[in-house]
Amino acid sequence: MRWVAGLGILAVALDVLSSHTGELSTVGTVFTHLRWWWLLPALGAEAASVLSFVGLATRLLAAGGLRPPLVPLAGVTLASQALSNSVPAGPAAALVYGFRWYRRLGADDTLASWALVGTTVFAALSLALLAGIGLVLATDQGASLNLVPAVLGALVGTLVLGALFVYERPLEVVARWALEISGRLFGRPRGDHERQVIVLLERLSRVRLSTPGALEIVGWGFMNWLFDCICFALAFLATGSPVPWKGLLLAYGAGQLAANLPITPGGLGVVEGSITIALAYFGGGTAADIAAVLVYRLISFWLVLFIGWGSWSALALGVRRGRWPRSALRAQVEPGVLTATADPDDPEDEGEGHGGDVRGSHAAPEERDEPEEPARRRAHRGATE
């Protein structure tokens, strides 16, 4: 049944992609005048982009005490991107897939969910920063394209999300506000909202990032987009077109922001159109420039997509052969994971487990080091007692 479901997913992906193969129709014409020697550094830049994104995920998981092997984590990252970019409701499918594989790699439910949310937040924040830099370098053209409100809005929005993800105090304010609004509008959740806020903060605060740690993760995300942009620049050299350095970051940022709109899987068609329109404002838009966009998309989308589905197949084969647990939710949690220890004062945590057994958790209680309860957490408890 698993193989039948897998073949069904592939069939749906192929059906979606078959209606968006317009960017492949002119490949023959592009390849006729291609400067092949520029493709190797372009491929290297794209590989560095993927590895930077893997570094982002690695750093988030390490914040919770998990250090998964690099190769499987890279495979999960590529497979998740393939799902996100080629199936309907791809981002949601990729989140479920990533959650299950983080569990197989040793994370518990809390860390897996936290890391996936963090990946989305920091990737969006770093992209907004890159687009903001591009806007500064080409302010006049950005105003002509009406990109100033969009880029600034994206930057402010992602900064707010990043602050909520890193700092507990603003998260507490937003959580209280959200619970009150939900209670008034929908009558849910029922019960003591103060207690529910404390329970929510208890779960989320089991993994916290310091400001330097958050900046490091933003750096990994920024390098992911920057290397991808370098691949874009090298695509111009491969087609013999001059690189529009002044508007490169802005055109790239506009295209990637368009790719994240829920219009088509992977931004198919939207990315090409957005980048081409932006380039036209910088004197581009020639046949060679359009060819450069196509070469870039062949490397950054289509090649990564095929490798991603290959990774998906290899990981599925590993599960079938017993290398990885068949049931992700019953996979063992690595002993170093910080969130795996239940809160003894929280009755909702007793006996729940956080998804799977903790390896080494059957040791005597006196042999396990219990983390000291943070002062802020004790303050919350004192306020309700």
Given this model, what pLDDT does residue 349 score? 43
Q: Provide the angle, in degrees to the nearest 10, between the axes of the packed helices 70-86 and 2-18.
A: 50
- 61 touches 111 (CB < 8 A): yes
- CA–CA dist 217, 9 (Å, integer): 32
- CA–CA dist 275, 31 (Å, integer): 20
Given this model, what pLDDT does residue 158 score? 85
- CA–CA dist 116, 101 (Å, integer): 11
pLDDT digits (tens, 9 = 90+) for 199-257: 666 666 677 788 899 999 999 999 999 999 999 999 999 988 888 887 788 888 877 87
Given this model, what pLDDT does residue 90 score? 83
Would you tell me how many other CB atoms lie within 10 Å of the CB of residue 202? 19
Given this model, what pLDDT does residue 210 score? 84
Given this model, what pLDDT does residue 171 score? 67
Q: Which residue has the tokens 């042999």?
A: 367
- CA–CA dist 328, 356 (Å, integer): 9
- 302 touches 267 (CB < 8 A): no
Tell me how far the alpha carbon of residue 249 is from its chain's centroid: 20
Would you tell me how many other CB atoms lie within 10 Å of the CB of residue 354? 22
- CA–CA dist 125, 22 (Å, integer): 31
Given this model, what pLDDT does residue 73 score? 97
- CA–CA dist 266, 271 (Å, integer): 8
Given this model, what pLDDT does residue 242 score? 85
Nearest one of 177, 150, 186 to 274, comparing CA atoms: 150
Lookup: tokens for 64: 């919770």
User: Domain residue spans in the chain?
Assistant: 39-138+211-325
Lookup: tokens for 1: 């049944």
Q: Which residue has the tokens 């750093």?
A: 59
Rounded to the nearest 5°, which phi and psi values hold at 358? -85, 125
For the chain, list residues with pLDDT below 70: 1-31, 139-147, 168-180, 182-183, 186-205, 258-286, 339-385
